[in-house]
Amino acid sequence: MKTQNRFIGGFPFLPLLAALLVLLLCSGATAEAGTVFPWRAYVLDVTLASSDPALVAMEDAPTDGLLVVVELTALTQGMDVDDIQTYYTEFALRDANSDEYAPYMWRLRDVTVDADGKLSATPQDTMELIYYLKDKDASALENAQLMIDTERPGERIVVSLAKAPSTREMPADASADVGDHAEPLTTEPTPQTLQPELAPTHTASPEPTATITPTTKDWVREMLHAALVQRGEAASKKPWVKAVYEAGFQNLSVEDDNVSFQLRSFDPKPKSLEEGETDALQQLMKNASTFDLDITLVLEEQAFTAKSLKAMDTVVTKAAAAAQKAFGDKRVKAALKDWLLPSPIEKVKQSEDLLVTTDAFSHWIEQNDALFSGCTPQVWAPLFYGQTKQTLSAKNGPYSLTFTCVSIHPEDLLKNASKQALSTVAKQPASIRASGDALDGVFINALASNSFTMRKKANEKFTLTLSVDDIAQGKRSDAYEAYVARYNCVEVLRDFKAQVEDLPEAAALDYPKSGRLSGSTSGTKIIIKAPKDGQGRYIQLRSYYSDAFAVSGFIQPGKSCTVRVPQGDYYLLIAVGVTWYGEETIFGEQSVFSRTGLFEVASRRYYHTVTLEPKSGGNLPLYGVSGDEFAQ
């Protein structure tokens, strides 16, 4: 058994239209009570209602609104966990503006989980409901109420949250996350989570009697909600229209036969940006989050008129089209690019320019230090310089914005830079060779040099799917973080420094020209090709039967060399590496050696082409060997 501090769940309650019709046919009513009220088989008391972040204590909490925790305590018997999971949506919070909110999540203090991942059946003395009041502040809790559905259609119990205690003294040894639990977690379930001195003392009260009074705004609210849900479902092939309807409504008012409210247009309003605005994306997302579509529906015989519904559809369709078009504005794409892939420099004429990053880019890297592995802006500038041809598509709606970019390969940039940096250091004698922090500078220079060259042939296309709400909360997509993680500069730099320590004392040499180095000069022509992988190749042909040396040659990356040997049976010895020290030391400690199987050389009337790149179906098997095999 293990004890888990909390379990969360819960989604907005979406009543079906059929349920709404039943509601309208019943005598809608509300029951008033104090903080003690009946709920199903239990008698509950509201013992806490607070928006204190220390009490809410929720990870990844939304920041664009108010979070409220309501604590409910059972007085006569513990609450069954299944009842909590099944019926917690019966508790709605109504704020000062009469806007109602379903629970954002529910939370239990200490419950056990068995080996199958099931919650314990231990009855719970207390449960917590957390409500998320988007775009609201503490004033929304003035005269706030808890609205509890009963098992009788059309009847609700109203509990004033103002009567519940709004603060709670914490024990002196409470930890920083006391909002999640008030005692350390243990391996066995505890009968009560709160410290004894914090547990409220109650005397069981008789079940209050419901007083039935009609509430017009309640059934209008439910009817409006059902109408919006129905239209959202009907707009499944129109993602922007669907999004407007499914976002819900705010600021509902009922006056005579007119029902007025506001819908969310999702329009970022790029034309409202001032030139040079530094927080452009923040302003755009704020605009896109605003409920700014004024709608009025007309009631007739307790139903919305078809004419007013049709007028609403027209307004929504027009607004959705305008929002989609606005997200195609170049200012929106530019703001997203600055948020995801900012330019590290203003102008680049040579690779060295990448080492002088702008203050804005440097500040951006420092702000996101955890994401960027603590590396300097100069390390990351080559990757972000390699981003080209960004596009933004909004056809799939505000929750599936498609941001596409063409980029250099992060892994290839690091690999090429590491090889270049190693070659640079290797050409220095050990007595003056760069070491320590100076190696960082060599590596960064190599990154800049390769990025400057590779950008012209950038060909990796990657796509990010973004949600307007995630953007508004500063959440980049998982695909973005995965792309950044591919640029594993810390590990590659560490490996580069380790390779430097293994370099020979002598300075490395420049690569020879591709071609014959020593040995035979006549016979059948053999052309040997090397791949473009940044590594040199040293080759020897030897007699298959006597191992006698025939000829040697060198091949630069992506090049070929031509040698000649008499007709006969041979095998190839191949050494691969980055730093060249001559035919005796070859590529030093970094050399990788191999040999082929039988290579039959025909007469001079023919020529042979050998490609030194393993391929399926190749006819020259490769075997690993030691460097001693190359001795002449």
User: Which of 131-135, 211-215, 583-587 has the weakest average pLDDT?
Assistant: 211-215
Smallest CA-to-CA distance from 98 within 242, 260, 228 is with: 260
Do 592 and 605 share a domain, yes or no? yes
Report the C-alpha gap between 273 and 240 in whole angstroms. Answer: 22
Report the C-alpha gap between 440 and 418 in whole angstroms. Answer: 11
Taking phi over 0 as left and psi of -120 to 50 as alpha, with beta for the rest, 397 belongs to: left
Which one of 326, 359, 393 terminates a domain?
326
Instruction: Give me the percent of the chain exceeding a pLDDT of 90.
Output: 56
Question: Distance between the two ends of the chain, CA-based, in angstroms?
Answer: 69
Say which CATH number the domain at 586 has.
2.60.40
Q: Is residue 369 part of a domain?
A: yes
Kindly state the tokens that stand for 269. Answer: 């309003």
Report the C-alpha gap between 380 and 294 in whole angstroms. Answer: 46
Do 282 and 377 share a domain, yes or no? no
Report the C-alpha gap between 355 and 363 in whole angstroms. Answer: 15
In what helix (H) or strand (E) does residue 561 lie, and over which residues does it extend? strand 560-565
| Residue 505 reports pLDDT greater than 90 | no
| Residue 188 reports pLDDT greater than 50 | no
Which one of 214, 232, 252 terminates a domain?
214
User: Which of 12-16, 446-450, 514-518 has the weakest average pLDDT?
Assistant: 12-16
pLDDT in tens, 23-58: 222 223 333 346 888 888 888 889 888 888 888 887
Do 223 and 209 share a domain, yes or no? no
Question: In terms of DSSP bridges, do strands 524-529 and 607-611 run parallel, antiparallel, or are they unpaired?
Answer: parallel
Q: Is residue 65 part of a domain?
A: yes
Query: Is residue 542 within 8 Å of 632, Cβ to Cβ?
Result: no
Side chain identity at residue 99, one-letter code:
D
Query: Is residue 182 within 8 Å of 194, Cβ to Cβ?
Result: yes
Q: Is 214 helix (H, G, I), strand (E, B) or coil?
A: coil
Q: Is residue 277 part of a domain?
A: yes
How many residues does this entry show for the chain?
632
> What pLDDT shows up at residue 351?
92
Q: Is residue 342 part of a domain?
A: no
Do 43 and 56 share a domain, yes or no? yes
- Give the residue-averaged pLDDT of 565-591: 93
Kindly state the tokens that stand for 427. Answer: 């050409």
CA atoms within a 13 Å half-sphere pointing along the CA-CB vector of 598 = 5
Do 86 and 193 share a domain, yes or no? yes
| Residue 201 reports pLDDT greater than 50 | no
Higher pLDDT, 194 or 397: 397
| Residue 304 reports pLDDT greater than 60 | yes
Question: In terms of DSSP bridges, do strands 65-74 and 91-94 run parallel, antiparallel, or are they unpaired?
Answer: unpaired
Higher pLDDT, 166 or 328: 328
> What pLDDT shows up at residue 110?
66
Report the C-alpha gap between 121 and 82 in whole angstroms. Answer: 8
CA atoms within a 13 Å half-sphere pointing along the CA-CB vector of 1 = 13
Do 25 and 130 share a domain, yes or no? yes
Do 87 and 223 share a domain, yes or no? no
| Helical segments of 139-279, H only | 216-234, 239-246
Q: Is residue 343 part of a domain?
A: no
Sheet holding 91-94, edge to edge: 29-33, 155-160, 145-149, 91-94, 100-101
Do 25 and 170 share a domain, yes or no? yes
- Give the residue-averaged pLDDT of 469-494: 92
Q: Is residue 508 part of a domain?
A: no
Which one of 185, 214, 243 terminates a domain?
214
What mean pLDDT is reported for the chain?
A: 83
Domain extent at residue 173: 2-214
Tally of domains in the chain: 4
| Residue 186 reports pLDDT greater than 90 | no
Do 206 and 224 share a domain, yes or no? no
Smallest CA-to-CA distance from 44 within 53, 35, 52 is with: 35
Q: Is residue 43 part of a domain?
A: yes
* Separation of CA 312 from chain center: 36
| Residue 250 reports pLDDT greater than 50 | yes
Q: What's the pLDDT band for 3 if we cut at 50, 70, 90?
A: very low
Q: Is residue 506 part of a domain?
A: no
> What pLDDT shows up at residue 363?
92
Higher pLDDT, 109 or 561: 561
Do 175 and 40 share a domain, yes or no? yes
Over 322-351, what HEC string results? HHHHHCCCHHHHHHHHHHHCCCCCCCCCCH
Side chain identity at residue 336, one-letter code:
L
The sign of the torsion formed by the CA atoms of 101, 102, 103, 105 equals: negative
Do 359 and 457 share a domain, yes or no? yes
Kindly state the tokens that stand for 300. Answer: 């007739």
DSSP 613: S
User: Which of 73-87, 201-215, 264-278 has the weakest average pLDDT?
Assistant: 201-215
Do 113 and 164 share a domain, yes or no? yes
